[in-house]
Amino acid sequence: MGILASINKKGSIPNVKALLLVGVLYAKEEYYLKAKERLAGMFGPIVMETAPRAWDYTDHYEEELGPDILRRFLFFGNLIQQDSLVEIKLFTNSLEAELSTGGKRNVNLDPGYMTMAKVVLASTKDYSHRICLGRGIFAEVALSYIRDGFKPYYYTYRDYRDEHHLKLFHEARKRFLRGLSSIP
């Protein structure tokens, strides 16, 4: 069975569904909670939420978000089409702007998705390892699932390389795998 056999009646290749995730950076809990509520309202129930963890990989966001930045990940129960990542990133960009004060973001939202084989992240920044999806949005494969766990690439963000976060992604993947049997 070749690729032509998998083309649907409309002439396109079926888009495999994926688990939506959003990485959140924030310093003030109130903005995290507002963002979480809006994200759940837009994308459905959150099935996994990580505990806050100090984010001290760089001071890049400190001027904007403030000191003592925390990282959390949200995983959503409603699976998405992989090609919806552009619209999702545009929505998270608008939500960041909505929650900003004085021209500075109070929350940084990094959407992406997980399949059984990879974690893909969306960005507005072009770079050598990113592919343009359209409308100013780029994507990169940040992690690949090889044998028994997720493996980073040389360009993968440092916090996504962190052993603690790799274990969290592995747990999310196990939950995703368990849920696949009941997904239409």
d(CA 161, CA 152): 6
Predicted TM-score of the model (pTM): 0.89
Fold of 16-182: Alpha-Beta Plaits (3.30.70)
pLDDT tens-place string over residues 123-154: 999 999 999 999 999 999 999 999 999 999 99
pLDDT tens-place string over residues 31-46: 999 999 999 999 999 9
Q: Identify the band that residue 177 occupies on the pLDDT scale cut at 50, 70 and 90.
A: confident
For the chain, the C-alpha Rg in angstroms (whole number) is 17
Task: Find how far residue 93's CA is from the centre of its chain.
Answer: 13
Q: Is pLDDT above 70 for 76?
A: yes
Are 163 and 175 in contact, with CB atoms under 8 Å apart? no
Strands (E), 37-86: 46-49, 53-54, 70-76, 80-81
Phi, psi of 64 (to 5 degrees): -85, -50
* Residue spans per domain, the chain: 16-182
